[in-house]
Amino acid sequence: MNKDKEDCKTFLKEQVEWCKKQDAILEEIETKLYKMKELAQYVVEHKLSSVEIDGLNEKLFELKSEVQFLEKQLHSVVH
């Protein structure tokens, strides 16, 4: 019976660590999405040259790629 309790305790500790890692990834995604929103709002509120727009588009693409990478990490381990 004691072995079962230890196994259960170990399993639950692993689950807590997994949840912490998932939470950290979600926080990173949220931060990047917020940056993307800020860039989009900036474009709406300002008259920009095509060069500035291209630069912001590159930054948005970069952030999008980073979010997609993080999403893959989020789904890479099914527990």
- Per-residue CA distances from 27 to 23, 30, 74 (Å): 6, 5, 11
Residues in the chain: 79
SS3 78: coil
Dump pLDDT digits (tens) for 15-25. 999 999 999 99
Q: Concatenated DSSP letters for 25-74?
A: HHHHHHHHHHHHHHHHHHHHHS---HHHHHHHHHHHHHHHHHHHHHHHHH
- pLDDT per position as a tens digit, 25-62: 999 999 999 999 999 999 999 999 999 999 999 999 99
